[in-house]
Chain A
Amino acid sequence: MVSIHGFNFKKREDSEFEMEKNYEGATLRIFAEEKLLTKMDQEVFLQGRNVAQLPGLVGPVLIMPDAHSGYGAPIGTVFATDAKSGFVSPGAVGYDINCGMRLITTNLFYAEIKNFLEKLLNLLFELVPAGVGRKGFLQVNRSELKKLVTEGVKYLIKSKGIGWVEDIKQIEESGNIDGADFSFVSQAAVDRGISQLATLGSGNHYLEIQKVEKIFNAKVAKALGINEINQIVVMVHCGSRGFGHQICSDYLRIFESRLSEFKIVLNDRQLVCAPIESQYAKRYLAAMAAAANFAFVNREAITSQIRRAFEKIIGRSAEELEMKLVYDVSHNMAKLEQHQIPDKIGGKLKREVLVHRKGATRSYPGQPVIIGGSMETGSYLLVGREEAMTKAFGSTAHGSGRTMSRARAKKMIKGQDLWQKMKNQGILVKSASWAGLAEEAGFAYKSISDVVKSVATAKLSEPVAYFKPVGNIKG
């Protein structure tokens, strides 16, 4: 038994703990090595327990090793509700619907770009707007936005000539979540989306040039285009921008106004939910799918700008540079999926469930998983394991997870000092905000290696390669 912040946890397996059940609701399991579990903030457990008391849950509520307190559900939460009789909670998907990661290869080596890195970052900073109040290169009207968010990446490539056809198969759900319906998206979301398309955003969103530092599984790495140490890759972390945030805000308010109708009692307003079969839930899921497609399109458009920047600075085409998409995967989404659920007589039944992943990545067997670390420490490429299907609704971690507030990080270091410190470590940074840079200091996050070790020992996903940052753009 491990006791933390007044909660008791029983170890089930390696990197898997279960909260002692002195509450009504679903089981709460935490995938983390003991050293990460004991460092989690109390709010993770309080918020996790609130999630476990939501109605209509199927199976346990799962907390990933990178979890930290969020609003409503902790960042790093996975749970499922029945596809017919369950509920959907927009707050447990998150504001940044389909916030996700994408990884792009090159056939360049660090030594070849080292002297061009600053020029490359400057151009990327110009081509991929980051921060607040900057428009992207992709200007669309309402009807074009409608097409983009209902047809996804395929429409971007076909109608705008932006992106590569071969990218489509490397994107979760081929860059188009079914069921998107623009009529359930507010005008405010449309306006925010139009002004922010093809932009990176701010907070912990980034575009990073990295070098391959370690390869753990050469065969899988090679199949994914990761061939040698010091090979250059590019990682992107961003989501659906104001479009997704507005959709989440809109539906939280709609759901809350109907709460008495749904007869649901909540411990936190942010967890407000609606029965899946209700018209409100159906509208949210259709709008959520539109936001998810916005995010896929956003990352594809950004990728196109990254390829342009490399072409211009290196002087070779993106095809020659083999700038292929390894994978694009979401970590904020609710999806209808089939999973084996334990029945009352000790067997398992295949059921359709709505899996909510907030700050958690889908991790199906053999599927690439991208876990992004802090801008100082590096990131990992993994693949999903079979065990994730039975243990975690096919899910794994998504990042490092914060250990301190942004305000505290800013008190501990100035953006300018962090910039110099990173430069001394061989990491060049272009940031839209010094304060924003300080908030993302490496010490404000857990060790990415500990997180990856936890998901590996819990058998949720298996490490393939580790990348170190050499150049970073952040909002």
Chain B
Amino acid sequence: MIQHNKWRVVDSKNIADINIEIYGKNEEDLFKNILQAFTEVITKIDSIKEKEELSLKITGKNLEELILNFIDQLIYLKDASFMLFRNGKFKLMFTKEGYSLFALLTGQKITNGLPIKTDIKALTLHKFKVVKLKNKFKVSLVFDI
């Protein structure tokens, strides 16, 4: 599993699921790394072909809700449409109503040949935290796998 300055698995001693920290130098970078961490937990991201494109608009009243809604959407697309994504372009807009995320995701449907490591079934609220550090964002989360 890839572990670098974009995201890392925190090996909590006795947890049945997976605890991850994801970083981003700005909000758009954070969403890109969230997408890649999500996909890498499930499969080897390099084995995903960028065959299909999907544009999404996700809203949230703050950054935390926007992240929750974005990950929920990734889980939904995996289960309902069998889609996994390798890459994405993100644009964030802030209005009076809150945040809007415009995403253009590229990836493929899950096929028999795709090496599956595990499934992400839900994003829990347990230990879920978004913090803005001096020059980057950090998200801590636990996936139910």
Chain A residues with a Cβ under 8 A of chain B: 41, 43-44, 68-72, 75, 91, 95-96, 131-133, 188, 191-192, 194-196, 201-204, 242, 245-246, 248-249, 252-253, 256, 268-270, 272, 402-408, 432-433, 435-436, 439, 475
Contact = CB atoms under 8 A, between A and B. Distances in A.
A56 to B, nearest CB: 20
B133 interface: no
B95 interface: no
Nearest to A269: B125
Nearest to A439: B118
17 contacts: A41-B13, A43-B12, A44-B14, A69-B15, A70-B16, A72-B124, A72-B125, A91-B125, A132-B110, A245-B144, A269-B128, A270-B126, A402-B16, A406-B18, A407-B11, A433-B116, A436-B117
Interface string B64-98: 00001000100110111010000000000000000
Given A269-B126, A402-B14, A405-B11, A192 B119 contact: no
Contacts of B12: 43, 69, 405
Given A68-B16, A71-B124, A406-B18, A203 B9 contact: no
A131 B121 contact: no
Contact of B123 (A133, A249, A435): A249
B17 interface: yes
B117 A405 contact: no
A267 to B, nearest CB: 11
Contacts of A242: 75, 79-80, 121
Interface range, B side = 35 or more
Interface in B117-145: 117-119, 121-128, 142, 144-145
B114 interface: yes
Nearest to A250: B72
A71 B126 contact: yes
B63 interface: no
B72 A131 contact: no
A192 B126 contact: no
B16 A75 contact: yes
B42 interface: yes
B122 A132 contact: no
A406 B118 contact: yes
Contacts, number: 130
B111 to A, nearest CB: 8
B80 A191 contact: yes
Q: Interface majority SS on B: helix, strand, loop or mixed?
A: loop
A204 B118 CA distance: 11
Nearest to A249: B122
Nearest to A256: B125
Nearest to B69: A253
**Listed residue (B9, B11, B68, B124) with the most chain A CB atoms within 10 angstroms of its CB:** B124
Given A245-B75, A475-B119, 8 more contacts: A95-B121, A133-B109, A133-B111, A195-B79, A242-B79, A242-B121, A248-B122, A405-B13
A132 B78 contact: yes
A433 B119 CA distance: 10
A133 B125 contact: no
**Listed residue (B14, B117, B128) with the most chain A CB atoms within 10 angstroms of its CB:** B14
A91 B76 CA distance: 19
Contacts of A475: 119
B54 to A, nearest CB: 15
B22 to A, nearest CB: 16
A405 B14 CA distance: 5
Nearest to A252: B125
A88 to B, nearest CB: 16
Nearest to A205: B119
Given A71-B126, A203-B145, A132 B119 contact: yes
A272 B13 CA distance: 25
Contacts of B11: 405, 407-408
B40 to A, nearest CB: 12
Contacts of A439: 118
A203 B125 contact: no
Nearest to B42: A132
A406 B117 contact: no
A249 B17 CA distance: 16
A432 B117 CA distance: 9
A248 B14 CA distance: 23
Contacts of B109: 133
A433 B117 contact: yes
Nearest to A401: B16
A431 B57 CA distance: 36
A245 B14 contact: no
